[in-house]
């Protein structure tokens, strides 16, 4: 049997294979938030011809079913089928992946008072060729010259010596030695290269996000970014969030598959960057990886199972150095691969890198760092102390668990303004044109606007009769943000969606309050708020305060940092001193497990209102409501 696509691809089907699996096998990825379990309702396709055994229609509406729309993961073809993949179901690299501003990064690094000084160094050496009278071994010859240059007691691995003789001779005894921590006594020789053919020094900084993978290719001599690349993390096809991936890695036995997926992503980017700039693998001397604890474990091929089981203990927080070849990266196989250390199961190397990038650990003012995604990771502190916690916000701000939710890519409603007289919404769509769904920032805008205009009450319940945009939908009351009669697909926010979003914002706010009260501070003590992560870039602070998601403190205290994980990875790549600082940050941070704090639950319950049950915590919102 065959699965044909309206875009002309043809896939031979295996026995009783569902459409989602067949597409995945052919390298065509659908949005699959639940990893193919039939619960997210995102993998929609339209059957144009042929018949399927439909196991479940999941969240599909009656109208969608009548239009022959099915869930790919729940549908097994019974005959040859012709299928159209709906635009919103196809996983594409988004045009809104946040990349930190790269051109000022060298200056930014220098603002730490350090120079470009990667842990991996290179030295040019000329060896006297051996003769009958000077007949010591190749390695003794190399050691003798290194001693003369002050590089003593260096270690030489088998990988190093196995290629040494050939390179020494082919380069006529003039070589470049790449080595690690060579000053003093404990250096390690990494590899030899011929300066004629391999004289440029590069490194890669990698951010392994749950959703995206970002790579910076940097010149290790100047610190300049040569190029950047990014893609969706292909582990997405196994599920959207870390928990689904952990389950797949452990119960599904898919650890190697997940590891291969992300390593392939990194290599695809690195290979294309090398090709674009005519760089050889031997010219990439090192790599630095930052990711959350689960992503770091999977990259290392470590079973992440214990991360999700009480008492939530990771296998490693501080990772030993690895070699490019062992990690299967397409860089020099001998190159050291450094992983930014993690703090706890749900506070990873991306947060240690982020705190490093924010500089909050160097300043006396009390600052709050937050990375908002499926998990809200929070760090509070200054140059004397750092505390951290993570709260589960659910995937709604990333587009899942919300009826018309989608990621912040083309076609997503990203901002909303509701006319207080007519209740007509004015929407902005990413990329312009026809809206296909609503992303996190659009949700924050919509709910704060619905609250200010009285469409919903403090509990997030719709006020019936307020406007004819409130209607009865298949899942209860809903507000129509955009009427789309032509495509038969209105963009709505349901009462259940509002409830999910309120729960997510309540978890974040309660996390911040609990962490602060642990150290005896209140919200007013926060002098700076650093917001990291792609989603953070598009948050309208004022609206997020109205929602009760962010503390009601002056707007000028909020700083949007973009992808701080990749910035921190870059800093660790280019400076040995800053790498040590990242290690220090991770060791110094005190992690608190919010789920065991009774006060967290109390704070959470109080925050399940708009903006909060205690309006004195939101004075600017209270004054707007008067
Ligand atoms: Fe098919 Fe979630 S419903 S992947």
**Domain check: are 65 and 8 in the same one?**
yes
Asked, for residue 149, whether it belongs to a domain, the answer is yes
Cα 471-473-474 angle, rounded to 5 deg: 170
Tell me the pLDDT of the chain averaged across its residues: 90
pLDDT in tens, 106-118: 989 999 999 999 9
Pick the atom of ligand 1 nearest to 43's CA. 1
| Burial of 465 per CB tally in 10 Å (0-12, 13-18, 19+) | exposed
Q: What is the pLDDT of residue 100?
A: 40
Asked, for residue 113, whether it belongs to a domain, the answer is no
Q: How confident is the model at residue 416 (pLDDT cuts 50, 70, 90)?
A: very high
| Ligand 1 midpoint to CA 238 (Å) | 10
| Ligand 1 midpoint to CA 620 (Å) | 41
Determine contact, residues 290/340, Cβ cutoff 8 Å. Answer: yes
**Domain check: are 487 and 505 in the same one?**
no
Cα 92-98-103 angle, rounded to 5 deg: 125
Q: How confident is the model at residue 94 (pLDDT cuts 50, 70, 90)?
A: very low
pLDDT in tens, 558-616: 998 888 999 999 999 999 999 999 999 999 999 999 988 889 999 999 999 999 999 99
Rounded distance, CA 28 to CA 120, Å?
39
Mutate to test the pocket of ligand 1, among 23, 71, 248 (most ligand atoms within 8 A of CB): 71
Tell me if residue 308 falls in helix, strand or coil. Answer: helix
**Domain check: are 472 and 548 in the same one?**
no
Residue with tokens 């939530």: 312
Question: Which residues are CB-neighbours of 111 under 8 A, at least 6 positions away?
Answer: none
Range of the domain at 517: 359-395+501-625
Mean pLDDT in residue range 64-92 = 87
Q: What is the pLDDT of residue 99?
A: 37
Mutate to test the pocket of ligand 1, among 19, 29, 31, 40 (most ligand atoms within 8 A of CB): 40
Of residues 284, 300, 285, the one with CA closest to residue 342:
300
Rounded distance, CA 71 to CA 78, Å?
15
Pick the atom of ligand 1 nearest to 31's CA. 4
| Ligand 1 midpoint to CA 40 (Å) | 5
**Domain check: are 165 and 269 in the same one?**
no
pLDDT in tens, 522-555: 999 999 999 998 676 678 999 999 999 999 999 9
Domain at 278, CATH number: 3.30.420.480
Mutate to test the pocket of ligand 1, among 18, 29, 36, 86 (most ligand atoms within 8 A of CB): 36
Please give the share of the chain, as a percent, with pLDDT higher than 90: 69
| Ligand 1 midpoint to CA 535 (Å) | 23
- Kindly calculate the radius of gyration of the chain based on its CA atoms and give it in whole angstroms: 27
Evaluate if residue 95 carries a pLDDT over 60. Answer: no
**Domain check: are 509 and 619 in the same one?**
yes
Backbone φ, ψ for residue 137 (5° rounding): -65, 165
Asked, for residue 345, whether it belongs to a domain, the answer is no
| Ligand 1 midpoint to CA 34 (Å) | 5
Asked, for residue 67, whether it belongs to a domain, the answer is yes
Rounded distance, CA 571 to CA 566, Å?
9
| Ligand 1 midpoint to CA 6 (Å) | 21
**Domain check: are 390 and 529 in the same one?**
yes
Pick the atom of ligand 1 nearest to 39's CA. 3
Among 144, 173, 193, the domain-final residue is 193
Residue 234 or 199, more confident = 234
**Domain check: are 213 and 328 in the same one?**
yes
Within 6 A (CB) of ligand 1 lie 20, 32-34, 36, 38-43, 58, 71, 73
Rounded distance, CA 37 to CA 527, Å?
44
Asked, for residue 350, whether it belongs to a domain, the answer is no
Domain at 384, CATH number: 3.30.420.40
Asked, for residue 379, whether it belongs to a domain, the answer is yes
What residues are paired with 617 via a beta bridge?
Answer: none
The mean-pLDDT minimum among 2-16, 29-43, 208-222, 397-411 falls in: 29-43
Q: What is the pLDDT of residue 125?
A: 94
Rounded distance, CA 148 to CA 525, Å?
56
Among 159, 193, 227, the domain-final residue is 193
| Ligand 1 midpoint to CA 345 (Å) | 27
Report how many domains make up the chain: 5
Pick the atom of ligand 1 nearest to 41's CA. 3
Q: What is the pTM of this model?
A: 0.83
Tell me if residue 338 falls in helix, strand or coil. Answer: strand
Pick the atom of ligand 1 nearest to 73's CA. 1
> What is the β-pairing status of strands 336-339 and 284-291?
parallel
**Domain check: are 189 and 210 in the same one?**
no
DSSP one-letter string for 124-150:
EEEPPPP-SSS---HHHHHHHHHHHTT
| Burial of 420 per CB tally in 10 Å (0-12, 13-18, 19+) | exposed
| Ligand 1 midpoint to CA 217 (Å) | 35
| Ligand 1 midpoint to CA 314 (Å) | 29
**Domain check: are 335 and 445 in the same one?**
no
Residue 30 or 345, more confident = 345
Mutate to test the pocket of ligand 1, among 41, 61, 88 (most ligand atoms within 8 A of CB): 41
Asked, for residue 229, whether it belongs to a domain, the answer is yes
Q: What six digits make up the tokens of 301?
A: 């091929």
The half-sphere exposure of 178 on its side-chain side, counting CA atoms within 13 A, is: 28
Q: What is the residue with the minimal CA distance to atom 3 of ligand 1?
A: 38
Rounded distance, CA 371 to CA 532, Å?
5
Pick the atom of ligand 1 nearest to 36's CA. 4
Sign of the CA dihedral with 268 first, then 271, 275, and 277 last: positive
Among 142, 159, 193, the domain-final residue is 193
**Domain check: are 156 and 56 in the same one?**
no
Mutate to test the pocket of ligand 1, among 64, 73, 75 (most ligand atoms within 8 A of CB): 73
Q: Where are the alpha helices (DSSP H) in 185-310?
A: 242-250, 255-276, 293-299
Rounded distance, CA 451 to CA 269, Å?
44
Asked, for residue 114, whether it belongs to a domain, the answer is no
**Domain check: are 216 and 304 in the same one?**
yes
Tell me if residue 618 falls in helix, strand or coil. Answer: coil
Pick the atom of ligand 1 nearest to 72's CA. 1
**Domain check: are 144 and 188 in the same one?**
yes
Tell me if residue 311 falls in helix, strand or coil. Answer: coil
| Ligand 1 midpoint to CA 255 (Å) | 21
| Ligand 1 midpoint to CA 242 (Å) | 16
| Ligand 1 midpoint to CA 89 (Å) | 10
DSSP one-letter string for 356-387:
HHHTGGG-SS-EEEEEESSEEEEEEE-SS-EE
């Amino acid at each position: 049997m065959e699965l044909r696509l309206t875009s002309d691809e043809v896939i031979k089907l295996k026995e009783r294979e569902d459409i989602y699996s067949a597409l995945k096998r052919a390298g065509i990825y659908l949005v699959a938030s639940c990893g193919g379990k039939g619960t997210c309702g995102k993998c929609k396709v339209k059957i144009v011809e042929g018949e399927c055994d439909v196991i479940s229609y999941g969240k599909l509406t009656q109208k969608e079913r009548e239009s022959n729309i099915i869930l790919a993961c729940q549908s097994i073809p019974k005959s040859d089928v012709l299928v159209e993949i709906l635009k919103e179901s196809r996983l594409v690299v988004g045009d809104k992946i946040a990349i930190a501003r790269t051109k000022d990064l060298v200056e930014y690094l220098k603002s730490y008072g350090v120079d470009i000084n990667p842990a991996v160094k290179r030295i040019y050496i000329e060896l006297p060729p051996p003769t009958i009278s000077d007949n010591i071994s190749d390695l003794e010859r190399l050691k003798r010259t290194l001693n003369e240059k002050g590089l003593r007691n260096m270690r030489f691995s088998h990988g190093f010596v196995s290629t040494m003789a050939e390179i020494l001779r082919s380069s006529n005894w003039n070589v470049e030695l790449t080595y690690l921590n060579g000053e003093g006594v404990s250096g390690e020789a990494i590899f030899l290269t011929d300066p004629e053919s391999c004289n440029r020094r590069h490194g890669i900084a990698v951010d392994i996000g749950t959703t995206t993978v970002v790579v910076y290719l940097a010149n290790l001599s100047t610190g300049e970014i040569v190029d950047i690349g990014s893609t969706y993390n292909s582990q997405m096809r196994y599920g959207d969030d870390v928990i689904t991936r952990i389950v797949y890695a452990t119960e599904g036995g898919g650890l190697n598959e997940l590891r291969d997926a992300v390593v392939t992503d990194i290599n695809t980017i690195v290979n294309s960057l090398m090709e674009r700039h005519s760089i050889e693998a031997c010219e990439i001397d090192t790599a630095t990886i930052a990711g959350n604890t689960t992503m770091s474990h999977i990259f290392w091929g470590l079973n992440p199972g214990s991360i999700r089981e009480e008492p939530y203990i990771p296998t490693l927080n501080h990772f030993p150095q690895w070699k490019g070849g062992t990690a299967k990266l397409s860089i020099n196989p001998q190159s050291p691969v450094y992983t930014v250390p993690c703090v706890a199961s749900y506070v990873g190397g991306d947060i240690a890198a982020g705190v490093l990038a924010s500089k909050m650990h160097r300043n006396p003012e009390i600052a709050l760092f937050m990375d908002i995604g499926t998990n809200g990771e929070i760090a509070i502190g200054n140059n004397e102390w750092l505390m951290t916690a993570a709260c589960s916000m659910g995937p709604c701000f990333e587009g899942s668990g919300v009826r018309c939710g989608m990621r912040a890519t083309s076609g997503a409603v990203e901002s909303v303004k509701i006319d207080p007289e007519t209740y007509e919404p004015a929407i902005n769509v990413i990329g312009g044109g026809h809206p296909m769904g609503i992303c996190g920032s659009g949700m924050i805008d919509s709910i704060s606007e619905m609250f200010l205009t009285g469409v919903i009450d403090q509990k997030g319940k719709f006020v019936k009769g307020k406007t004819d945009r409130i209607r009865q939908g298949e899942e209860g009351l809903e507000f129509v943000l955009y009427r789309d009669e032509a495509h038969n697909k209105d963009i709505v926010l349901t009462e259940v969606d509002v409830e999910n979003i309120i729960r997510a914002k309540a978890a974040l706010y309660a996390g911040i309050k609990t962490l602060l009260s642990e150290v005896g501070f209140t919200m007013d003590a926060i002098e700076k708020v650093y917001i990291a992560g792609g989603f953070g870039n598009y948050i309208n602070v004022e609206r997020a305060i109205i929602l009760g998601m962010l503390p009601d403190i002056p707007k000028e205290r909020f700083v949007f940092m973009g992808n701080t994980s990749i910035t921190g990875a870059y800093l660790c790549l280019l400076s040995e001193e800053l790498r040590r600082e990242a290690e220090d940050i991770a060791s110094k941070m005190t992690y608190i497990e919010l789920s065991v704090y009774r006060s967290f639950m109390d704070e959470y319950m109080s925050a399940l209102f708009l903006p909060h049950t205690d309006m004195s915590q939101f004075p600017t919102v209270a004054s707007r409501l008067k």
